């Protein structure tokens, strides 16, 4: 079958179909990529929600002795500070 025997509408249909196949493939790949990114970001959010309380407690653990000393020093300063008249 030669293309010279195919009517113009048929030739245009072949061209459109030839362009639509890669476009559909690229669209499908893009959607798959975006879905994987969305899934990853949801997992990241769940991980952050899980680790946030742990991170705060881990961050505060070395500071607890310092905070206790500051509180004691503040109480001592309040005790020895001159009282306003």
Sign of CA dihedral 4, 10, 16, 18: negative
Q: Are 40 and 33 in contact (CB under 8 A)?
A: no
- What's the rounded Cα separation, in Å, for the pair 5 and 10? 10
- What's the rounded Cα separation, in Å, for the pair 53 and 38? 24
pLDDT number for residue 66: 81
Per-residue model confidence as pLDDT tens digits over 11-65: 999 999 999 999 999 999 999 999 999 999 999 999 889 888 887 777 777 777 8
* Domain extent listing, the chain: 3-80
DSSP 50: H
């Amino acid at each position: 079958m030669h293309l010279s025997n195919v009517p113009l509408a048929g030739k245009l249909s072949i061209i459109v179909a030839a362009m639509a196949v890669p476009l559909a493939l690229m669209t499908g790949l893009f959607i798959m990529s975006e879905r994987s990114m969305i899934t990853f970001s949801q997992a990241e959010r769940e991980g952050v929600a899980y680790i946030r309380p742990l991170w705060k407690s881990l961050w505060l653990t070395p500071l607890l002795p310092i905070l206790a000393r500051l509180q004691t020093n503040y109480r001592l300063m309040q005790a020895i500070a001159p009282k306003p008249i």
